[in-house]
Amino acid sequence: MNKQSLLYLSKADVAQVGLDIHTVLKLVERAFHEKAAAKVEMPSKIGIHTMPDAFIHAMPAFIPGMEASGIKWVSSFPTNLSRGLPNIQGLIVLNDIETGVPLAVMDCTWITAYRTGAASALSARFLAKPDNRTAGIIACGAQGKTNLEALAAVFPLERAYVYDTSREAQEKYVAEMSTRLGLEVVGVQSPRQAVEGMDLVVTSGPIQRKAEPTIEAGWLKPGAFASSVDFGSYWTNASLVEMEQIATDDLAQFQFYRGLGYFDHVPEPYTDLAELVSGRVQGRLSDEARTFAINLGLALEDMAVAPQVYRKAKEMGIGTWLDL
């Protein structure tokens, strides 16, 4: 019998592979085209919940056209931040599509952050106006960074206004992202200042089953686009009701989560991202429409990106080979 081994990629290894945001955008978009063609096998996430507002989820997917098969085992524990630990942690396992043999185990945090930003930017490509110059970011963690980077790759952004409850996190974000993206990045004193007057808005705080929203009706200007990667936790019902169009990344999973007690304040989405990408459903309907994406984060996004990380890591000699 042949000796079998898998490639282990640490968080640093995955980051060292260094996929650029344009590559991630293309991979995620292709995965949604495959989904629109009914060529993706992806059950709804299942999870366990060891603490309030925390979860550990299993997220499997198979994309035949991208030769991608595997699962992400990911946790979100908002209280980790007070312990000096990341909110999001986990692993991705890739399997050979013909034998099922495990090919790789890799840290999931880089991929999760970048594919989430890519999904927001992809949603914005169809739901936002094309000439966006300003962005507002609420929560200056990893998701806040990758969402801004992805939006800057799609739109001609000039300035970003950012807010975080932690002044230290906000100041670090301003210094890092202004240098990385070549944008004017300004820290503001309130969530309202990161929403009012912005062309694009992203909220990326901890997910809450029973939301404690702060964003009020009237803050988001007509014609603006917003993306909530925190399950709408920080948007009041009144602020969401005034959205002319709300989309998600997967309608079936949205309904699944509504059944678990999430989204009780969120109006019904009219479509999902695969339908927008395929052109079967029209995106933005008017210049004055407020549009909103409430993406859950899908396993197909992870499986779109992880195989390319694995292939490049092998080419670059990155990672550690382990015997099975």
Q: What is the model's pLDDT at position 69?
A: 98
Q: What is the model's pLDDT at position 48?
A: 94
Q: What is the pLDDT of residues 202-218, one digit of tens each?
A: 999 887 777 678 999 99
Closest CA to 176 of 140, 147, 204, 216: 140
Q: What is the model's pLDDT at position 40?
A: 98
With a cut of 70, list the residues of the chain below it in pLDDT. 1-2, 211
Q: What is the model's pLDDT at position 184?
A: 98
Architecture field, domain 5-111+300-323: 2-Layer Sandwich (3.30)
- Domains of the chain: which residue ranges? 5-111+300-323, 129-297
Q: Say if pTM beats, i.e. exceeds, 0.85.
A: yes
Q: What is the model's pLDDT at position 86?
A: 86
What are the C-alpha distances in Å from 188 to residues 85, 212, 245?
A: 25, 21, 28
Architecture field, domain 129-297: 3-Layer(aba) Sandwich (3.40)
Q: Hey, do 5-111+300-323 and 129-297 end up sharing a CATH topology, with the first three levels equal?
A: no
Interior CA angle at 60 toward 26 and 19, to 5°? 30
Q: What is the model's pLDDT at position 299?
A: 98
Distance between CA atoms of residues 224 and 233, nearest Å: 19
